[in-house]
Structure 1
Amino acid sequence: MASGILCDHKIPLRLKGKFYRTAIRLEMLYGSEYWAMNYTHEQKMGVAEMRMLRWMCGYTKMDKIRNEHIREKIVVAPTDEKMRETHLRWLGHVLRRLVEAPFRRVDFRQSSQHKRGMGRPKKTWWITCSSSRN
C-alpha cells in the first residue's frame, strides 16, 4: 500500500511528505526513545531516509540534487532531529517519575561492581540524552 502511494506520480509531493511523516517515519523511529544512539546509527537512519525521499521524488543520485532541496520540496525534517526530540521527550517522562521507579533506578545507575574491560566505555542512554540537550 505504501509503495503505491509513494511511487504514484499523480500524487503531489506535499501529500507524499505528509504520508511519510505520519506513517513511515513513525515506524522507523518506533522505540528510538530508548536507543543509545551513536554516530553510525544516526548516519544509517539518515541514509535510509534520504533513499526513500529520493525514491518518492523520482530522483536518483545521478541527478545530483542536494538533500536540502529534496527536504524542502517534501517538507520533511531530518531524522536525527526527530530522534533527539524523542530522546528528550522520554527523558522528561523519566525525570517526572519517582527515584524509586524501576526504570529510573536502572537508567541512572552510576557504576557496576565488576571490572570494566579495555577500550572506551559503551555509550549509555543517559549520555545520549545529555548530548541531545546541548
Structure 2
Amino acid sequence: MKVYKTALKPVLLYGTVRRKEENLLERTEMRMVRWIAGISLRERRESADIRRMAGICCIREKAREARLRYIGHVKRGAEEDPVRRAMEMEMRGRRSVGRQRKRWKDTVKNMHCKRRNSRSGSQ
C-alpha cells in the first residue's frame, strides 16, 4: 500500500477533476487496490470494506480536500496575485440560455456549503 499512497495516488489526483472523471478515478483506484491486495471481483467484496482493510479513504474525498486546500492557498495570497484576481473577478453581461456549465468556483462554493451544513448538524 505504500507504493499506492506515495506514487499512484498523487498521479491520479494531478490536475482538475470533473464529476465524470471522478467516477473513472474511483473505478481505477479500486481496480489498483484490488490488484495490490490480491482481491478478485469474483469475491464480491464491497469497496468500502476493501478500503477499510487497506487503510485508505475514497479518492473523491482526497480530490475534495485538494480543491479546498488550493482555494485556501489562493485566498491567503496577495491581493494583487493574478490567480486571486481571476478567481474573485466578476464577469459582466449575461450568461447563455439553458443549463449552465458548472464552473470550478461553483464546485468549491457548493463543497464549502455542504461542509458547513454537515458541521452544524453534528454539533
Q: TM-score, normalised by structure 2?
A: 0.80
1:24 aligned residue: 8
2:96 aligned residue: 117
1:96 paired with 2:76, answer yes
Letter in 2 for 1:128: T
Q: Name whichever structure is richer in helix by fraction.
A: 2
Match among 64, 67, 75 for residue 44 of structure 2? 64
Sequence identity, in percent?
Answer: 33
| Deviation of 1:100 (Å) | 2.3
Q: Deviations over 1:6-57 (max 9, x none)?
A: xxxxxxxxxxx122111100111123xxx2x443222111111111111112
Give the count of matched residue pairs. 113
Uncovered stretches (5+) of structure 2, i.e. residues with no partner: 115-123
Could you tell me whether the CA contact under 8 Å between 1:42 and 1:80 is conserved in 2?
yes
Residues 58 and 112 from structure 1, CA distance in 2 versus in 1: closer, same or farther, beyond 3 angstroms? farther
Letter in 1 for 2:10: L
Q: TM-score, normalised by structure 1?
A: 0.74
2:64 aligned residue: 84
Q: 1:92, 1:42 → 2: CA distance?
A: 22
